[in-house]
């Protein structure tokens, strides 16, 4: 029975790849890391940020490709994400857990041999309690989230960390709020200046400290922000940190999202497609049905507000996005062309046409990050290197 089920599952998965499927090019991810590394000032290390399941691309395969592309650190948001990397066989690489950690989580993170971020003495106490570990002290220079705004508090934590047994003071960090906004009234430079004036003298005193501040946008914007390490997420996945066009920034999109045309049917005047009849034909046209919907992460805000590529041509979404399907107006010509069975590209290129995560984000007033992070568990991810399939061990 188990055999039969496994066999069925394998075949079902192959079928499911057609309905809503994300294809991830690990060679492109690798090259994006190499490209970001070339940008770095001498000696600065690349930390690949693989939180949120590698921005929806799959944390483990993304992490492996990033390391192959020259990253020497990994960063995640929580302890479970760090454990997943360790369990996946990445036992040696340094991992930074960037988020706040409650007791149990802190033990998990330190137990996994990950570095953690602190800014209060009670957090240091918890690290000591948990048996010690490597800590990075975070100054809040203007993001207004994690870290302390008080240099006095940071100094107290630093002093206490230095004299605590079992605690290694590994790094000093901050995070920029507006690195991706050119029109930020000098806020980025102000944060950079504040971090530099705090961290640089400490670095002179303690040369082993790793100073890190830059996300992808900051790397491209200001070499002075590179310090000893940079934390890049969005760029390694081949998306533009500034939300415009990755290819212009010499980054290669890594993920393609596809589906297929399961049905094509004529739609006459006054006939409609989808819930609420929000699309109504005004003349003879045809509607293609693609089995991908908001249950896969193709957002409902794209209703009557998006495009897909079918057989190298661009067609508008027509009607409301459902949980499991969308409808696309392909016109009478589309009906004649016999599009049924054709592959449809929702993110990616087809012939000379291309739809980027940035294009999708712009349509619905969000950012490229949210587009790929929003792809749900129902969407199988498969991996390839420039078109050659690579087998990835299934997660957990
Ligand atoms: C997510 C995150 C990053 C990565 O930012 P990108 O814009 O994706 O490069 C860097 N630092 C911190 C603290 C983060 O939370």
pLDDT of residue 324: 98
For 321, counting Cβ atoms within 10 Å of its Cβ (0-12 exposed, 13-18 middle, 19+ buried), the class is: buried
| Burial bucket for residue 338 (CB in 10 Å: 0-12, 13-18, 19+) | exposed
Instruction: Render pLDDT for 100-156 as a digit per residue (tens, 0 to 9).
Output: 999 899 999 999 999 999 999 999 999 999 999 999 999 999 999 999 999 999 999
Distance CA 76, CA 83 (A): 10
Residue 274 pLDDT class (50, 70, 90 cuts): very high
Q: Which residue has the higher pLDDT, 362 or 9?
A: 362
For tokens 């890391």, name the residue.
Answer: 33
Domains observed in the chain:
26-241 (3.20.20.10), 255-379 (2.40.37.10)
| Ligand 1 centroid to residue 264 C-alpha, Å | 43
Q: CB of 215 closer than 6 A to ligand 1?
A: yes
- 257 ligand 1 Cβ < 6 A: no
The atom of ligand 1 lying closest to the CA of 175 is: 13
With a 6 Å cutoff on the Cβ, whether 241 touches ligand 1 is yes
Which pLDDT score, from 0 to 100, does residue 396 have? 42
- pLDDT at position 9 over 90: no
pLDDT value at residue 207? 97
Q: Give me the active site residues, please.
A: 51, 275
Model confidence over 330-383: pLDDT tens digits? 999 999 999 999 999 999 999 999 999 999 999 999 999 999 999 999 999 999
Q: Read off the pLDDT of residues 35-49 as tens digits, 9 standing for 90 and up.
A: 999 999 999 999 999
For residue 179, which atom of ligand 1 is closest to its CA?
Answer: 7
**In the predicted model, what is the mean pLDDT of residues 233-254?**
97
CA of 312 to the centre of ligand 1 (A): 35
Asked if 300 and 306 count as a contact pair (C-beta separation under 8 A), the reply is no
Pocket probe for ligand 1: among 37, 46, 49, the residue whose CB has the most ligand atoms within 8 Å is 49
Task: Kindly report, residue by residue over 164-214, the tens digit of the pLDDT.
Answer: 999 999 999 999 999 999 999 999 999 999 999 999 999 999 999 999 999
Q: Which atom of ligand 1 is nearest to the CA of 215?
A: 9
Cβ(231) to ligand 1 under 6 A?
yes
User: Is the pLDDT reported for residue 1 higher than 90?
Assistant: no
Q: Mind listing the pLDDT tens digit for each residue in 47-102?
A: 999 999 999 999 999 999 999 999 999 999 999 999 999 999 999 999 999 999 99
251 C-alpha vs ligand 1 centroid, how far in Å?
Answer: 17
Residue 175 in contact with ligand 1 by CB distance below 6 A: yes
- Average pLDDT of the residues in 309-325: 97
Residue in 74, 75, 171, 191 to alter for ligand 1 test, most ligand atoms within 8 A of Cβ: 75
Q: How far is the CA of 247 from the centre of ligand 1 (A)?
A: 20
Residue 32's nearest CA partner among 217, 249, 215 is 249
Q: pTM (2 decimals)?
A: 0.95
How close is the Cα of 51 to the center of ligand 1, in Å?
9
């Amino acid at each position: 029975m188990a055999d039969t089920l496994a066999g069925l599952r394998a075949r079902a998965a192959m079928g499911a790849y057609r309905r809503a499927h994300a294809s991830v090019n690990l060679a492109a991810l690798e090259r994006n890391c190499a490209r970001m590394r070339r940008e770095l000032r001498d000696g600065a290390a690349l930390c690949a940020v693989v939180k949120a399941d590698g921005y929806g691309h799959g944390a483990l395969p993304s992490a492996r490709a990033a390391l192959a592309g020259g990253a020497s650190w990994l960063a995640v948001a929580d302890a479970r994400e760090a454990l997943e990397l360790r369990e996946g066989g990445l036992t040696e690489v340094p991992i930074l857990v960037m988020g706040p950690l409650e007791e149990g989580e802190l033990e998990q993170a330190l137990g996994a041999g990950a570095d953690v971020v602190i800014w209060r003495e009670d957090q240091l106490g918890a690290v000591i309690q948990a048996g010690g570990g490597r800590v990075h002290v975070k100054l809040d220079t203007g993001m207004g989230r994690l870290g302390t705004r008080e240099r006095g508090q940071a100094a107290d934590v630093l002093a206490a960390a230095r004299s605590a047994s079992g605690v290694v003071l590994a790094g000093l960090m901050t995070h920029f709020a507006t690195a991706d906004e050119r029109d930020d009234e000098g806020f980025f430079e102000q944060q950079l200046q504040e971090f530099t004036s705090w961290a640089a003298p400490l670095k002179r005193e303690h040369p082993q400290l790793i100073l890190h501040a830059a996300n992808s946008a900051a790397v491209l914007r200001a070499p002075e922000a590179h310090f000893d390490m940079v934390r890049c997420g969005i760029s390694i996945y081949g998306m533009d940190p500034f939300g415009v066009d990755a290819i212009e920034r010499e980054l290669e999109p890594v993920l393609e999202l596809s589906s297929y045309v399961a049905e094509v049917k004529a739609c006459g005047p006054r006939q409609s497609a989808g819930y609420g009849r929000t699309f109504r034909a005004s003349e003879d046209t045809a509607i293609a049905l693609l089995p991908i919907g908001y249950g896969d992460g193709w957002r409902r805000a794209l209703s009557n507000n998006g495009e897909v590529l079918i057989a190298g041509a661009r067609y508008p979404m027509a009607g409301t996005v459902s949980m499991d399907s969308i409808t696309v107006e392909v016109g009478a010509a589309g009906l004649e062309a016999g599009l049924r069975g054709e592959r449809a590209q929702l993110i990616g290129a087809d012939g000379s046409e291309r739809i980027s995560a940035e294009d999708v984000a712009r349509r619905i007033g969000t950012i490229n990050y949210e587009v790929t992070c929003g792809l749900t568990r129902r969407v199988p991810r498969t991996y390839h290197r420039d078109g050659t399939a690579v087998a990835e061990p299934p997660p957990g």
